[in-house]
Structure formats: C-alpha cells, structure tokens
Amino acid sequence: MKLVNAIGLIVLVVGTAHAQEARQDPDRLYADREKLSSALEASTIWEARLAKNPRDFESAWKLARNCYWLGGHVPESDRRKQYERVIDAAMKAIELQPNRPEGHFWLAADMGAMAEGFGLRQGIKYRGPIKKELETVLMLDPGFMQGSADRALGRWYFRVPRLFGGSKDKSVEHLKKSLSYAPQSTASLYFLAETLIEMDRDDEAKRSLQATLAAPLDPEWTPEDKEFKEKAATLLKKLR
C-alpha cells in the first residue's frame, strides 16, 4: 500500500510540474489561443521577458502576433488596447532587427485591422504605411509565413478604393501569388473568393470557397483555419 501511495505521489508531482511548465511556456499558451485566458497569459509572459531584456527580439514579435489575435477576440471595448500593444511590440521588433520580416509583417497586419475596424479616418491614416511594410516583407523574404505579405497585399488592394490605389485585378494577382506558397491556405482562398465575388466571377468564387472548406487544418494555424472555414460555409450558402 505504501508503494502504491508513493507511486501515486510521484505521478501527481510530475503531472503538476508538467502543468506548471506548460503555463510558463508562452509558445504553448499561444498554441492554445482559442482559450482566451491562455493568450492573455502568453502576453503577460512575453511582456515580462521584454521588460527584463529590451533586446529580446523574439519576445517582441511574438507579443505583437499574440496581441493581434487578442485584438480580434477580446470584447470590443478592449480591442483598441490590444491593437495598440501590437504596434508598440512590432515597432520594437523592427528597431531590434530591421532586416527580419516579423516586425514589419505584424505591424502591417495590425494597422490593417485598425483600418478595417475603426472607421474611415483610420483607413486613410494607415493606407500608405501598411503597403510600405508589406512591400518591405516581400523584399526581405517573399515566402515569409506561407506568402503572408502577398496575401495581405491582396487584401489591401481589395479594401482600398480605386481612387486611392485599390485594384481588384491586383488583389487577385497577389492572392494567387500567396497560394503558390501555400495552395491550401484557407485565408488566401477565402479572400480570393471575396474579391472574385466583387468582380462578378461567382463560379470561380464558389470553387475557391469549396477549396477553403476542403483544405486540411494547418497545425500551426488551426484556430484561424476554423474561422475561415466557418466564414466560407456562410458565404457559399449566400451564393447558391
């Protein structure tokens, strides 16, 4: 009986240690970001690391990425705060490593979210800087994160009015380029479908939405994939 109790105690201690280790690993917490408390805890850890070591490039860009996710999922009253944290962290990453794409990309992504979510004034304010940062990413590493710069530029050309440089044709061009890096990217496929609908190319849009639904979940981007699949299913019903 004593041996059984001892083994049980060891299992409990080891299990507790592993759980504690997981709670202290921001990468594992970020992987569990669908659980909002995990993403919030990851931000706390990366912020603390950056405060301790202001030269910590990895913590800076990962904090920016994490706060970008939070900005799209926290209550509306807290979204601007999260997006502002992205800007601070991404600019810090750019300052530390200007020739790395991470800071430039997450700064552009965040400004894009601000432009889409906070009105015309924000859209005008960030239109130029977004394009500049994404073009910087293309110059540094065109294949970065599965062609994300081309994907985001495709979105930029879709969202920006033609008078200010927008172009549905260029949107399609960049989105198809991003798909050359990741043919089953749910984000690129869904964004391409939205652009094609605006161009009255509904049959092509349907195929792109069906491809979105058929694409496998990417282990690194599963939460985002799930959301794009839900959007694709909804949009496809409207086209039928």
pLDDT digits over 217-234, tens only? 999 999 999 999 999 999
Q: What is the CATH architecture of 36-141? A: Alpha Horseshoe (1.25)
Q: What is the pLDDT of residue 187?
A: 98
Q: Encode pLDDT of 96-110 as tens digits.
A: 999 999 999 999 999
Q: Confidence band (pLDDT; 50, 70, 90) for 19?
A: very low
Domain boundaries, the chain: 36-141
Structure tokens at 87: 């800007």
Say what the pTM is. Answer: 0.88
